[in-house]
Amino acid sequence: MKRGLNNGDALKSISAIVVNRNGGGALFRCLESLADQDAPALETVVVDNGSREAEREEIRRRFPAFRLIPFSSNLGFARAVNEGIARTSGRFILAVNNDARIAPGYALRLAEVLSADDRVAGAQGLVLRSDGSAIDTAGLSWNSRGEAIPFLAGCDPASAPAGPVEVPGISATASLYRRSALEGVAEGGAVFDGSFFAYYEDVDLSLRLARAGWRFALDPRAVAHHEGSLTGRRTPWKRALWISRNRWRTLLKNFDGSFLRRRLGGLLRADLAHARAVGWSGVALPLLVWPAAAARALATRPESTRLTRFPVFSAGGK
């Protein structure tokens, strides 16, 4: 176990990364919350995926201490975060969605959690819906259909644990990661799997870290608010395709093949539910996802570290 850092040292060791694409007002609320972290030394970068030039200029004008990393095209969330990680140096990496805002002290409290236990790869706070009426996510868990789900989603904030607890995984909505843990599971130098583009990249990362022996924590005393997938709502069909495709990639990369075969019926039903959710155009969704998933399954090599159960929250921890 490591002793906690003092406030100044902890804050100087944090690099915050925000990925943006035309985030508008939500982005600036996010950046204002980062500026209010009582952390003048907090390194903050905005990786911009081809936003309007007017928005980029406003970022530069309103937040001159933040570093803008502009790209002319949309790299996707996963690759953009990787760019941010590669261009920062903090001991801890704070990933924050451009439609999330974090309360004062959020970064420091999570840094203290990671500093206190060197087995923890990452921590997140209690992320509430924008109006604070319900929990958006308190970590990652799984259901019986092989879908990663936000822990405690939709619940009253009063139902959250009173203090820090271990959770199966963390959401990149507003999470702090230990850089050394990320470097240990990076694939070809990339922390997040860039082929995912968006969705499930944080689930895959949590599973890879868990397979390497790392743990995750929720500290509900750190609070954030999330407006919720503003970019994804603009293209619902693409969002459904990415979620279904990346769920299968995550499953095949991280879970034992025989375990998945025994649960195949439930796994397929999840795709059908996604297809129904987007209407008549969703008919094509399984046709696009299943052949690619089957091809990946045939090409997947057995690994002894693959998981044989879906990780779910346990009050007793591991």
| pLDDT for residue 19 is more than 50 | yes
Question: Which segments of 212-311 does DSSP mark as H helices, in order?
Answer: 230-234, 236-254, 257-262, 264-277, 285-299
Q: What is the DSSP string of 52-114?
A: -HHHHHHHHHH-TTSEEEEESS---HHHHHHHHHHT---SEEEEEETTEEE-TTHHHHHHHHH
| Residue scoring higher pLDDT (195 or 274) | 195
- pLDDT (0 to 100) of residue 299: 86
Residues in CB range of 17: below 8 A, 6 or more apart: 44, 45, 47, 81, 84, 85, 88, 93, 94, 95, 96
| pLDDT for residue 232 is more than 70 | no
| Residue scoring higher pLDDT (12 or 46) | 46
Inside any domain, residue 155 = yes
Distance of alpha carbon 18 from alpha carbon 44, whole angstroms: 8
Average pLDDT taken over every residue of the chain: 91
Residues 4, 115: contact at Cβ < 8 Å? Answer: yes
90 and 133 share one domain: yes
Inside any domain, residue 275 = yes
Residue 132 gets which letter from DSSP? Answer: S
Position 43: which residue type?
E
- pLDDT (0 to 100) of residue 317: 47
Question: What totals of helices (H) and strands (E) does the chain contain, helices first?
Answer: 12, 12
Entry pTM: 0.92
| pLDDT for residue 39 is more than 80 | no
For the purposes of burial, counting CB atoms within 10 Å of the CB of 169, is it exposed (0-12), middle (13-18) or buried (19 or more)? buried
Inside any domain, residue 1 = no
Given pLDDT bands bounded at 50, 70 and 90, which one contains residue 24?
Answer: very high
* CATH code of the domain in which 133 resides: 3.90.550.10
Residues 214, 180: contact at Cβ < 8 Å? Answer: no
Inside any domain, residue 313 = no
Cα–Cα distances (Å) from 262 to 21, 145, 158, 251, in that order, read: 40, 11, 37, 13
Q: Please tell me whether residue 254 adopts helix, strand or coil conformation.
A: helix
Inside any domain, residue 247 = yes
220 and 74 share one domain: yes
- pLDDT (0 to 100) of residue 113: 95
The predicted-structure confidence for 253-297, as pLDDT tens digits, reads as follows 999 999 999 999 999 999 998 888 877 767 788 888 988 888 988
What is the tally of structural domains in the chain?
2
Token look-up 């309103």 returns: 62
| Residue scoring higher pLDDT (298 or 64) | 64
76 and 27 share one domain: yes
Mean pLDDT of 28-40: 88
- pLDDT (0 to 100) of residue 262: 95
110 and 216 share one domain: yes
145 and 108 share one domain: yes
Position 47: which residue type?
V
- pLDDT (0 to 100) of residue 94: 97
140 and 270 share one domain: no
118 and 71 share one domain: yes
- pLDDT (0 to 100) of residue 315: 64
Reading the block at residue 290, the tokens are: 């299943």
The predicted-structure confidence for 85-138, as pLDDT tens digits, reads as follows 999 999 999 999 999 999 999 999 999 999 999 999 999 999 999 999 999 999
Given pLDDT bands bounded at 50, 70 and 90, which one contains residue 234?
Answer: low
Reading the block at residue 301, the tokens are: 């090599």
117 and 256 share one domain: no
The predicted-structure confidence for 140-167, as pLDDT tens digits, reads as follows 999 999 999 999 999 999 999 999 999 9
Distance of alpha carbon 241 from alpha carbon 58, whole angstroms: 33
Cα radius of gyration rounded to whole Å, the chain:
19
124 and 247 share one domain: no
Query: Considering only 98-102, 132-136, 194-198, 311-315, which range has the smallest mean pLDDT?
Result: 311-315
> Which residue range forms the structural domain that includes residue 209?
7-230
| Residue scoring higher pLDDT (285 or 64) | 64
- pLDDT (0 to 100) of residue 282: 73
Which of 198, 230, 262 terminates a domain? The answer is: 230
Which of 185, 212, 230 terminates a domain? The answer is: 230
- pLDDT (0 to 100) of residue 129: 97
253 and 164 share one domain: no
Cα–Cα distances (Å) from 194 to 75, 79, 82, 189, 281, in that order, read: 9, 5, 8, 11, 27
Relative to beta strand 174-178, strand 67-71 is unpaired
Given pLDDT bands bounded at 50, 70 and 90, which one contains residue 307?
Answer: very high
The predicted-structure confidence for 69-92, as pLDDT tens digits, reads as follows 999 999 999 999 999 999 999 999
104 and 246 share one domain: no
Which of 230, 255, 290 terminates a domain? The answer is: 230
242 and 223 share one domain: no
Inside any domain, residue 308 = no
